[in-house]
Chains A and B, each alone.
Chain A
Amino acid sequence: MAKQPKTAMTRALQRRENIAGYLFMLPSLIFFLGFVVFPMFACVLISLTDANMISEGMLGNFVGLDNFIKLFQDKEFLEALKNTFIIVVVSVPTVCAFSLWVGSAIYKLKGPVLSAFRCIFYLPVVTGSVAVTVVWQWMYNNYYGIFNQVLGPKGLGLIQGRINWLGDERFALWCIILILFTTSVGQPIVLYVSALGNVDQTLVEAAQVDGATDFQVFWKVKWAQMMPTTLYILVITTINSFQCFALIQLLTKGGAGTNTVMYHIYYTAFKLTERAGHFGYANAMGVVLAIFIGILSAVQFKLAKEK
């Protein structure tokens, strides 16, 4: 844009725009700056201190990068980091692939049938993490849970005896991933259904005239056009998987090899352990988590752009 010579008139107009713009922004800015941006910066600052639950004001003593150095020698944290990565690496691709399949299978169905399917796949999200967790805990129960009854000798006979699903290191993390999966596909399906509906039909028809098979039409035409949607889904699913908290807190309390970074932050900050209420240390974990999510989102953006 070329700079125009500013006359008194345009300057007065610009001032009017500025005043009106900021007045309209003001109510939202108070909340945004006060309860999001300010804590964001405070988070970084606190991570450089030894602040704890009872220290005066926001900050404790400045300790430099000590928290971060300690962090990468802390076995529990590294374990939590590993579990978090397993959850993300497993759930993100499966959620995307599954929702893409469901989306493409239902998007051509008639209105009411389509919205019925969409609703049902969205139900676990709306039901809320606490209610979902409570019922899954019952279903996984060792003695009267439905999994052991259906899979056990009196049901399908797939397993011998009873499995302590949430207490056994071999299964617990996968049980959590399964619940996370059912509560994560709702939004991606809605997004894919709408993206598939918006695919440019003239391109699809052109490809069909040229003799492309359904499979080719899908990958060469539709998939390319849905790339922004896929990218968005990748990012939100990654963030969701990283944040997996309620399931852990209510089901295993981080036991049986299911500790995640998010739960570990909570545990370090609020539960009475030898590190009771070490806000500085817990915040350092938060900063590391945010950096990981930032890097992953950036990589996903880059990959999607190259395609």
Chain B
Amino acid sequence: MKIQSGRSRAYKIVSLIILVILAFLFAFPLYWIITGAFKNASDINATDRVVWWPSEWVGTNFDNLLDKRSAPLWELHVPLSEWFTRDHTQIVFSTGPEVPAAFRWLINAVFMCVAAMLLTCLTAAMAGYALAKKRFTGRAILFGLIVCAMALPKQVILIPLLKEMNALHLVNTLWAVIFPTVGWPFGVFLMKQFSEGIPGEILEAARIDGASELKTFSTVVLPIVKPGIGALAIFTFINCWNDYFMQLVMLTSNNNATMPLGIATLQAETSTDTGLLMAGAALASLPIIAVFLTFQKYFTQGITMGAVKG
């Protein structure tokens, strides 16, 4: 018995050491991005030695990134507005001074993620509640369709989606990325799982008190499923930010690019200027990492809840 416990303690220590080494390896690319962004050209292009730590911290990479190109600070396409204007042109609000394109990419990415997040949370919370608690006709078929669609690789439908966006005049606007993200059924599935936990008696009580359906939803249901909404919000934000394929196909002009897409185009144009690319990569990844670390708890919850009956 003693030998057994000694052996298992040794195993524990060894596995912990391996874990720590692995953790360093997994964190290394991020470390390399951040230090790389501040290294000078000779550190980066050193062929005969590894520069583990910048010999001097320089800001030139960021300067280069910021004076690459410029774009107006803010533009908003009103979706489907050409259906309602007399000469069938799209309404576009555009304001602000010319700013470095990278700023614009950052604003675009944040706007895209926040819009997708808000729309997803609202629609999914309502639909999830209905699927879990309302016994309406056709509910089983709808839910079956949702589960099937979840197993489908998203990219497969991209070509018809592009044609559709083209017909709706949404190509090259952020909406072309936002709308399909909102339509993706994972959110509804997640919110249904959360809503199953709402006690039927509370809903019954609210109805007997004469509360309308909307009132019941906003005052009884929403507070209960709040953790689920938190999980979904952060999940949607991160997924939308990192959905490179969709952004690549839908956003065609430099002004409408997002941070990740902008960096990818820089990579295609100037793949030799590694310092510039690292500065871009740092700007593309640090905001999203900050969001992740802040709401980590919700995020973990969301991942596990989605899998419970997956």
Interface residues of A (CB under 8 A from B): 14, 17-18, 20-25, 27-29, 31-40, 42-43, 46, 57-58, 102, 105-106, 115, 117-132, 134-139, 141, 143-144, 146, 149-150, 154-155, 182, 187, 190-191, 194, 214, 228-229, 231-232, 235, 239, 242-243, 245-246, 249-250, 262, 265-266, 269-270, 279, 282-283, 286-287, 289-290, 293-294, 297
Query: Within 8 Å CB of B74, what residues of A?
Result: none
Q: Once bound together, how far apart are the Cα atoms of A120 and B31, in whole Å?
A: 12
Query: Within 8 Å CB of B208, what residues of A?
Result: none
- Decide if B304 touches A123 in the complex (CB within 8 Å): no
Q: Once bound together, how far apart are the Cα atoms of A32 and B271, in whole Å?
A: 39
Total cross-chain contacts (CB, 8 A)? 270
Q: Which residue of B lies closest to A162 (CB)?
A: B47
Q: Once bound together, how far apart are the Cα atoms of A282 and B155, in whole Å?
A: 12
- Decide if A246 touches B155 in the complex (CB within 8 Å): no
- Decide if B159 touches A43 in the complex (CB within 8 Å): yes
Top 5 closest A-B pairs, CB basis? A21-B136, A28-B127, A31-B183, A24-B130, A42-B160
Query: Within 8 Å CB of A249, what residues of B?
Result: 248
- Decide if A130 touches B19 in the complex (CB within 8 Å): no
Q: Once bound together, how far apart are the Cα atoms of A33 and B142, in whole Å?
A: 11
- Decide if B183 touches A190 in the complex (CB within 8 Å): no
- Decide if B304 touches A31 in the complex (CB within 8 Å): no
- Decide if B127 touches A126 in the complex (CB within 8 Å): no
Known pairs A24-B213, A231-B310, A293-B152 / 7 extra A-B pairs, C-beta < 8 Å: A21-B135, A35-B182, A42-B163, A115-B296, A131-B285, A232-B307, A245-B155
Q: How far is the CB of A91 from chain B (nearest CB, A)?
A: 15
- Decide if A46 touches B160 in the complex (CB within 8 Å): yes
- Decide if B300 touches A21 in the complex (CB within 8 Å): no
- Decide if B142 touches A25 in the complex (CB within 8 Å): yes
- Decide if B278 touches A32 in the complex (CB within 8 Å): no
Q: Which residue of A lies closest to B304 (CB)?
A: A194
- Decide if B277 touches A138 in the complex (CB within 8 Å): yes
- Decide if B50 touches A34 in the complex (CB within 8 Å): no
Q: Mark B145-162, 1 if CB is under 8 A from A, else 0.
A: 110010111111111110
Q: How far is the CB of A215 from chain B (nearest CB, A)?
A: 10
Q: Which residue of B lies closest to A34 (CB)?
A: B183
Q: How far is the CB of B140 from chain A (nearest CB, A)?
A: 12
Do most interface residues of chain A lie in helix, strand or loop, or is the interface mixed?
helix
Query: Within 8 Å CB of B277, what residues of A?
Result: 134, 138
- Given A131-B285, A135-B33, does the pair A24, B307 have CB atoms closer than 8 Å? no
- Decide if A290 touches B156 in the complex (CB within 8 Å): yes
Chain A CB within 8 A of B199 CB: no
Which stretch from B95-103, B222-230, B260-268 is at the chain A interface?
B260-268
Interface residues of B (CB under 8 A from A): 8, 15-16, 19, 22-23, 26-27, 29-30, 32-33, 36, 44-50, 119, 122-124, 126-127, 129-131, 134-137, 139, 142, 145-146, 149, 151-161, 163-164, 167, 179-180, 182-185, 188, 213, 217, 238, 241-242, 244-245, 248-249, 260-261, 263-264, 267, 271, 274, 277-278, 280-282, 284-285, 288-289, 292-293, 296, 300, 303-304, 307, 310
Query: Within 8 Å CB of A23, what residues of B?
Result: 213
Query: Within 8 Å CB of A190, what residues of B?
Result: 300, 303-304
- Decide if A35 touches B36 in the complex (CB within 8 Å): no
Q: Once bound together, how far apart are the Cα atoms of A14 and B307, in whole Å?
A: 32
- Decide if A286 touches B157 in the complex (CB within 8 Å): yes
- Decide if B289 touches A127 in the complex (CB within 8 Å): yes
- Decide if A297 touches B45 in the complex (CB within 8 Å): no
A sample of 15 cross-chain residue pairs with beta-carbon separation below 8 angstroms, ordered by A number, consists of: A14-B135, A36-B184, A40-B149, A40-B157, A119-B292, A123-B26, A123-B289, A135-B30, A138-B274, A144-B44, A194-B300, A235-B151, A235-B310, A279-B163, A293-B153
- Decide if B8 touches A43 in the complex (CB within 8 Å): no
Q: How far is the CB of B133 from chain A (nearest CB, A)?
A: 9
Q: How far is the CB of A234 from chain B (nearest CB, A)?
A: 11
Q: Once bound together, how far apart are the Cα atoms of A282 and B98, in whole Å?
A: 39
Q: Which residue of B lies closest to A27 (CB)?
A: B123
Q: How far is the CB of B161 from chain A (nearest CB, A)?
A: 5
- Decide if A117 touches B23 in the complex (CB within 8 Å): yes
- Decide if A43 touches B281 in the complex (CB within 8 Å): no
Give which listed residue, A58, A106, A115, A265, contacts B160 with CB less than 8 A.
A58
Query: Within 8 Å CB of B16, what residues of A?
Result: 105
- Decide if A127 touches B304 in the complex (CB within 8 Å): no
- Decide if A130 touches B289 in the complex (CB within 8 Å): no
Q: Once bound together, how far apart are the Cα atoms of A22 and B271, in whole Å?
A: 51
Query: Within 8 Å CB of B45, what residues of A?
Result: 143-144
Q: Which residue of B lies closest to A42 (CB)?
A: B160
Q: Once bound together, how far apart are the Cα atoms of A105 and B30, in whole Å?
A: 24
Give which listed residue, A36, A117, A287, contacts B149 with CB less than 8 A.
A36
Query: Within 8 Å CB of A22, what residues of B?
Result: 130, 136
Give which listed residue, B158, B267, B288, contacts A134 with CB less than 8 A.
B267
- Given A37-B145, A250-B267, does the pair A28, B124 have CB atoms closer than 8 Å? yes
Q: Once bound together, how far apart are the Cα atoms of A289 and B160, in whole Å?
A: 16
Q: Which of B26, B241, B278 has the most CB of A within 10 A?
A: B26
Q: Once bound together, how far apart are the Cα atoms of A235 and B47, in whole Å?
A: 42
- Given A138-B32, A138-B274, does the pair A246, B122 have CB atoms closer than 8 Å? no
Query: Within 8 Å CB of B123, what residues of A?
Result: 27-28, 31
Q: How far is the CB of B280 from chain A (nearest CB, A)?
A: 7
- Decide if B151 touches A294 in the complex (CB within 8 Å): yes
- Decide if B160 touches A129 in the complex (CB within 8 Å): no
Q: How far is the CB of B189 from chain A (nearest CB, A)?
A: 11
Q: How far is the CB of A139 from chain B (nearest CB, A)?
A: 7
Q: How far is the CB of B58 from chain A (nearest CB, A)?
A: 17
Q: Once bound together, how far apart are the Cα atoms of A287 and B156, in whole Å?
A: 7
